[in-house]
């Protein structure tokens, strides 16, 4: 079961925008393997003209995070919000 989180996290990314490290709730994580970029699209077709979403397309990354203290590995989805501050949207099972 997925868990919605929607918390701001600090992200270090390389020059191509690929996330390398994440700090969430004071814990540092490194990104394992190959993070997967994707685009989340708001269901704009279901919105009325006076209630359009602020963002129709959102850049996202599916990542596997390993805490630096050798704790539990986490599957997560990050949304790119610009700069070093991104949003951890959800945790995956």
Max CA pair span of the chain:
49
**Residues 61-78 pLDDT 10s:** 999 999 998 889 999 999
Q: Which two tokens stand for residue 22?
A: 């994440």
With residue 34 as reference, give the H or E element that holds it.
strand 27-41
Residues in the chain, pLDDT under 70: 1, 43-49, 51-55
Check residue 56 and give its pLDDT: 74
Check residue 58 and give its pLDDT: 87
Count of Cβ atoms closer than 10 Å to residue 67 Cβ: 15
């Amino acid at each position: 079961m997925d868990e919605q989180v929607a918390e701001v996290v600090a992200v270090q990314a390389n020059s191509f925008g690929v996330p390398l490290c994440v700090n969430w709730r004071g814990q540092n994580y490194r990104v394992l393997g190959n993070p997967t970029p994707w685009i989340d699209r708001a269901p704009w077709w279901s919105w009325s003209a006076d209630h359009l979403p602020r963002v129709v397309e959102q850049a996202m990354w599916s990542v596997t995070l390993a805490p630096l203290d050798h704790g539990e590995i986490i599957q997560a989805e990050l949304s790119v919000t610009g700069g070093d501050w991104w949003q951890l949207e959800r945790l995956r099972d």
